[in-house]
Chains A and B, each alone.
Chain A
Amino acid sequence: MYSKGLRPLSLITAVSVALTLAGVFYWAPNDAYLGFLQKIFYLHVPLAIITLGGFIAGGLMAVAHLRTRDPRWDMRSYVAIHISLIFGVCVLISGSIWARGAWGHWWVWQEPTLVSFLLIMLLYATYQPLRFAIDDPERQARYASVFAVTAGVFVPICFAIVRLSPAYVHPRTLDNISGNLPGRMQVVFYLALISTTLLWITLWRFEMTAKHVAAQIRHLRRLLGEEADDAPSRRSAAPSLTQVGSAG
């Protein structure tokens, strides 16, 4: 079900990433102040936006799970948060490298933008241990969804508070992106935003497909009697595969 259209989507993503990289390094001009170092901007900013968007999407999927009790929504939320965490790690690494080049420091603790993003990442880093700590699959899914909703609400609040606080060194996100960027830089930035979004969607569908196939295999094993119906599931932070498998 999730594999439908995955191949063309992967191809479109690969082409858009290649176009973005070509645009970044061969078409967009160098920044007058930061020079070549500003090229990190096209990686760092779209990744940060998509990471935060992914966390919010995970929260919305968790709302759907709490409303419907359909385990597939829990799985979708889990995968969305998982992919966003991976993107978030990339944001922290690329941001630190940029900070070192631009400000001479790997990290600036006085800067609210950096610290707030780290706080969000640390908050979501507790998501998987929380799931792993709960044995019962239904309770695990319910608690994880409540967490995803609460944390998902925290993300825009945190973003708004940072926008209101005075900037120390980090420019305010979305403040000078579309307005102040020269034409070519703006085009490449939006291209980078689109390709990062496509990459997130592709990886999300890729992982959903893998999880769905694993669930179906487990379901088949039970049908064939290779695994007892009441056999204890291996403890896992991932949503219950048995539930998903039986849900189709």
Chain B
Amino acid sequence: MLMASLPLHTAGPYVAGAYIAFLAIILLYVAIMATKLTRSERALRELTETVERRRSEGEE
């Protein structure tokens, strides 16, 4: 069932395909996590604004 050594021009696309698929999956995961972090950053900014607004209202 095993085949003999594949020449570079035949094996190249398989090797590139495996490494690119891996890279694409990891990048997709990192992109999703980065989106979530951006959302968290926005929420944190909103919360900071709320705290500052309440503080200034309290001082008045």
Given contacts A35-B11, A36-B12, contact A224 B29 (CB under 8 A): no
Question: Once the chains bind, are B5 and A32 in contact (CB under 8 Å)?
Answer: yes
Q: Tell me the complex Cα distance, A141–B14, Å.
A: 41
- What's the count of A-B pairs with C-beta under 8 Å? 98
Question: Once the chains bind, are B14 and A226 in contact (CB under 8 Å)?
Answer: no
Q: Which of B2, B11, B21, B25 contacts A169 (CB 8 A)?
A: B2
A100 within 8 Å of B (CB atoms): yes
Q: Tell me the complex Cα distance, A14–B32, Å.
A: 19
Given contacts A36-B12, A43-B18, contact A217 B5 (CB under 8 A): no
Q: For this complex, into which size category does the number of interface residues on chain B fall? A: 20 to 34
Looking at chain B's contact residues, the main secondary structure is helix
Question: Once the chains bind, are B8 and A214 in contact (CB under 8 Å)?
Answer: no
> Which residues of B have CB within 8 Å of A213?
37, 40, 44
Q: How many residues of A contact B (CB 8 A)?
A: 37
Chain B interfacial positions (CB closer than 8 Å to A): 1-8, 10-12, 14-15, 17-19, 21-22, 25-26, 29-30, 33, 36-37, 40, 43-44, 47, 50-51, 54
A221 within 8 Å of B (CB atoms): yes
Given contacts A206-B33, A224-B51, 9 further A-B contacts (CB under 8 A): A40-B18, A40-B19, A98-B14, A98-B18, A101-B14, A104-B1, A210-B33, A217-B44, A220-B47
A109 within 8 Å of B (CB atoms): no
Question: Once the chains bind, are A203 and B11 in contact (CB under 8 Å)?
Answer: no
Chain A interfacial positions (CB closer than 8 Å to B): 31-37, 39-40, 43-44, 47, 86, 89-90, 93-94, 97-98, 100-104, 169, 199, 203, 206-207, 210, 213-214, 217, 220-221, 224, 226
**6 A-B interface contacts by CB (under 8 A):** A35-B5, A40-B14, A94-B21, A203-B29, A210-B37, A221-B43
> Which residues of A have CB within 8 Å of B10?
101
Nearest-neighbour CB distance to chain B for A62, whole angstroms, equals: 22
Interface centre among B2, B6, B18, B30 (most CB of A within 10 A): B18
Q: Which of A31, A93, A210, A220 contacts B5 (CB 8 A)?
A: A31
> Which residues of B have CB within 8 Å of A90?
21-22, 25-26
The chain B residue sitting closest to A214, CB to CB, is B40
Nearest-neighbour CB distance to chain A for B17, whole angstroms, equals: 5
